[in-house]
Amino acid sequence: MATVKLWSDAEVERDARVKAVFDDIRATRKSDFVNNFWRGLAHDAALLERTWASLKAVMVAPGALDPLTKELVYIAVSTVNGCSYCVHSHTAAARAKGLTDAQHGEFLAVVGMASQTNALVTAMQIPVDPEFQVG
């Protein structure tokens, strides 16, 4: 189905750079499961390394936003970009980080509301109020 080959664990074992990333994914997530996204990226070790390093810095390292908020932002972006895989994987990640049904329902309401007003604003070509300008 994919436009690239998804690497099996056996194939990963034979490439030192790819194996190092997979090892770090497993160690970081404390789980043996490595999802298909990384198996697709494995055919380009440099891209795999850069992508994992960025994801680790942005989504795993502690920061100013809590992990669940970051997952919700991730799902919101993925929804509007129409990335079915990403909606699935990050909704699963959000649930693993404690997303409740009530929070999910409210999140859906915000995503729907924003999409609706975005379309209304664009169709009406509303000019930005001076009050919203920075500096």
C-beta closer to a second copy: residue 23 or 120: 120
Is residue 70 close enough to count as binding a second copy by CB under 8 A? yes
| 63: three-class secondary structure by DSSP | coil
Choose, by CB under 8 A, the member of 10, 14, 30, 101 that binds a second copy: 101
**In b/e form, how buried is each residue of 62-90, taking b as 16+ CB within 10 angstroms?**
eeeeebbebbbebbbebbeeeeeebbebb
Is residue 92 close enough to count as binding a second copy by CB under 8 A? yes
DSSP, res 135: -
Is residue 75 close enough to count as binding a second copy by CB under 8 A? yes
Query: Near a second copy by CB under 8 A, which window of 8-16, 18-26, 86-94?
Result: 86-94
